[in-house]
Amino acid sequence: MIRFDNIHKAFGDNKVLRGVNLHIPKGESMVIIGGSGTGKSVALKCVLGLVEPDAGTILVDGKDSRTNDRDAFLARFGMLFQGGALFDSLTVWQNVAFRLLRGSLKRPKEEARAIAIEKLRRVGLKADVADQFPAELSGGMQKRVGLARAIAAEPEIIFFDEPTTGLDPIMAGVINDLIREIVVEMGATAMTITHDMSSVRAIADKVAMLHDGVIQWTGPVSEMDASGDPYLDQFIHGRAEGPIEAVR
């Protein structure tokens, strides 16, 4: 469904992506791992058109992602941002229904509110949360609201950017389980970027490791521990010694 074909991207002299090739099949959950600054977020932004690749092509359902009809293209995506990225000045339901209140997906206000409350319930929040503001919620609740917003428009493709950042281990586990349940339930195609190996094991069908601007290894999550790849092995076990240079 999503195919990266020899994607290159540099910022000045910093060559971030040096020929990324990756295929994410329809209905699968792909998790991209790698150290900080390796280009995981840049790859995601290239799909959404927020960053223009210097070379290469990204195809979504066989069509170039650099389409002129941006609104229709982006309507296919949902996104859970790192830290939630909720709008402080909007109530919870307005955050969840953000895309349903404007653009090509616009619905009547009462219908949008009803959908928002339904999605809040789906992520384990009660209806009385709908009229609160993000600042009134805990970090875990804010993350749930972000997840509800990501699925509000029934997207075909969902991106998760460090979905458990800032959460305690128990709440991180809850969010991981919710993500897995929802992706399977919706039949969505998912792309996640994370450093959290617990998240990887909980939500991935397949894993891709981005290192030095290329996909170093990719395969089923069940084969990750016995991959035999020294880069992947060092990363997933958090070892200071290995082919990946650790700054001390």
Residue 117 lies in a domain: yes
CA angle in degrees (0–180, nearest 5) for 61-2-68: 60
* pLDDT one-digit tens code per residue, 201-246: 999 999 999 999 999 999 999 999 999 999 999 999 999 899 988 7
Segments forming the whole domain that contains residue 112: 89-154
- Tracing tokens 């749930």 back to the chain, one arrives at 144
Residue 120 in any domain: the answer is: yes
With CA atoms as reference, report the closest residue to 232 among 192, 200, 202, 203: 200
Return the structure tokens found at 241.
């010694």
Query: Domains in the chain: how many in total?
Result: 1
Q: What is the pLDDT of residues 13-68, one digit of tens each?
A: 999 999 999 999 999 999 999 988 889 999 999 999 999 999 999 999 888 888 76
Please compute the mean of the pLDDT values over residues 92-102 and round it to a whole number: 95
Task: Determine, yes or no, domain membership for 107.
Answer: yes
In a domain? residue 244: no
C-alpha distances out from residue 224 to 33, 40, 67, 164, Å? 12, 18, 35, 21
The DSSP bridge partners found for residue 77 are 157
